[in-house]
Amino acid sequence: MAVISLVNVRNLILKDISFDINDGEIFALVGPSGAGKTTLLQVLAGLAPYSGRIFSDARPLDGVPPYKRGMGYLFQDLLLFPHLTVEGNLIIAMGRETAGKRRKMERAAELLELMGIAPLVRRFPHELSGGEKQRVALARALASSPEILLLDEPFSSLDFRIARYLRLEFKRLQKLLGFNALFVTHNMREAAELADRVGVLNDGRLIQVVKPDDLWLSADPAEESFLEKTNILFVSNHRETGNGLIEVEWAGHSFVVPDEGKPFERVAISPREVFISNLTPPGPPVNRFQGRIKKVRESEGMAIIEVEVGDESIEAKITMEYLRTLNLSVDDNVCGILKLRALQGC
């Protein structure tokens, strides 16, 4: 059943957006900067004007002020109130439905416990690390008991490892508490990892809504212009290495891929994450391949290099300056590295 429905929502940036978010679902919106992702969240929260219809559990939200819409909003810059402690930030969000200060304090403690940050209860926001602030902001958004949680690039400002850890935590919490969430990101990997469904937004239009696994295989030309052409490698001979990685084979080379806990036959990697060189790069011999340059073309100021590896081919995207430094041309032999953290089984 749809918790949130948008019907022909439009404003200066958005163009006739219609989609539903189902009960218990995490919905991701991906798109480049300026696509209208944040505007769409602001429209849902009642912070930006729009025409069209928005329903929450069949209740029309048009004209309803932000404080009555029941949308928890996790802003990109978090906006924790600096004059309040962590506990104060949570209590202020509880409103009148949670009666009594003692009950509110208990509820704040429960939420902080769930987030694993119970000892921070008396701290002020400026005394917290980036990851801690993120969790406090999430706890605060949940404290207001929203119908749906809106998250604006929630993990973009964090270190890669912390972001990944928090994504897993977020998934665990969502399963535990069963809240609905809509989050926007420009990180496809993040969307694929977290969401049940992904909407692709470009230039104010919702181009399509797909399952995360299909995101990498999208053939829509408009979508490709922003998503770039992703390398899809058909892999075989899966073997668990036992340390959160799976070893696979592609084009006669073996690679390790992060184990996401679900089976996959393909591995996706953005051309930006494929490193190539005419010398053998230093470092451990992991996720490397040898190949021959088949084609070099220029796209939006970057060089796209197609490399033939055995019977397969892969594309790498490098700067024109780097291409000139390497002095690469067609038929040159190159070494390549696939960045482990950029590999996504699908």
Partner 1 sequence: MKGLHRLCFIALFLLALLVAGVLFALIFRISFKELGDAISSPEVLFALRLSLWTSLAAIIIALILGLPSGYLLARRNFRGKVILDTLIDIPLVMTPLVAGVGLLLLFGQTYLGKYLARVGINFIFSPWGAVIAQAFIAAPIVARSSKAAFEEVSPRYEWAAQTLGLRPFRTFFRVTLPMARQGILSGIVLAWARAIGEFGATLMVAGATRMKTETLPIAVFLNISSGELGIALSCALLLIAMGLIILLILKQIGNNHRRELPMKGIE
Determine which helix (DSSP H) or strand (DSSP E) holds 318, and give its type and residue range. strand 312-319
- What is the DSSP code (8-state) at residue 333? E
Q: Which is nearer to partner 1, 82 or 263 (CB)?
A: 82
Which of 49, 63, 82, 283: binder of partner 1 (CB under 8 A)? Answer: 82
Q: Which is nearer to partner 1, 42 or 202 (CB)?
A: 42
Closest approach of Cβ 285 to partner 1, in Å?
Answer: 42
Query: Counting contacts by CB under 8 A, is residue 4 touching partner 1?
Result: no
Query: Counting contacts by CB under 8 A, is residue 75 touching partner 1?
Result: yes
Q: What is the DSSP string of 44-104?
A: HHTSS--EEEEEETTEE-TT--GGGS-EEEE-TT----TTS-HHHHHHTTTTTTS-SHHHH
Query: Which stretch in 141-149, 192-200, 293-301, 323-331 sits in contact with partner 1 by CB under 8 A?
Result: 141-149
Query: Counting contacts by CB under 8 A, is residue 310 touching partner 1?
Result: no
Query: Which stretch in 39-47, 179-187, 193-201, 314-322 sits in contact with partner 1 by CB under 8 A?
Result: 39-47
- What's the Cα-to-Cα distance from 212 to each of 1, 208, 268, 329, rounded to whole Å? 20, 12, 12, 36
**Is residue 156 classed as helix, strand or coil in its secondary structure?**
coil
Query: Counting contacts by CB under 8 A, is residue 234 touching partner 1?
Result: no
Closest approach of Cβ 51 to partner 1, in Å?
Answer: 21
- What's the Cα-to-Cα distance from 156 to each of 19, 42, 81, 245, 328, rounded to whole Å? 25, 18, 21, 24, 34
The residue whose two tokens read 């706890």 is 139
Which of 3, 14, 28, 72: binder of partner 1 (CB under 8 A)? Answer: 72
Which of 45, 136, 257, 269: binder of partner 1 (CB under 8 A)? Answer: 45
Which of 37, 104, 135, 140: binder of partner 1 (CB under 8 A)? Answer: 140
| Interface with partner 1 in residues 148-167 (CB under 8 A) | 150
Considering Cα of 115, then 118, then 121, then 122, what sign does the dihedral take? Answer: negative
Which of 8, 22, 62, 67: binder of partner 1 (CB under 8 A)? Answer: 67
Tally the C-alpha atoms within 13 A of residue 30's C-alpha that lie toward its C-beta: 25
Which of 1, 126, 221, 329: binder of partner 1 (CB under 8 A)? Answer: 126
Q: What is the DSSP string of 258-277?
A: E--SS--SEEEE-GGGEEEE
Closest approach of Cβ 81 to partner 1, in Å?
Answer: 6
Token pair of 152 as six digits:
């604006």
Q: Where are the alpha helices (DSSP H) in 81-187?
A: 86-91, 101-115, 130-143, 160-177
Query: Counting contacts by CB under 8 A, is residue 116 touching partner 1?
Result: no
Q: Which is nearer to partner 1, 66 or 252 (CB)?
A: 66
What does the binding site for partner 1 look like in residue numbers (CB under 8 A)?
Answer: 45-47, 65-73, 75, 77-83, 92-93, 95, 124-126, 140-141, 143-144, 150
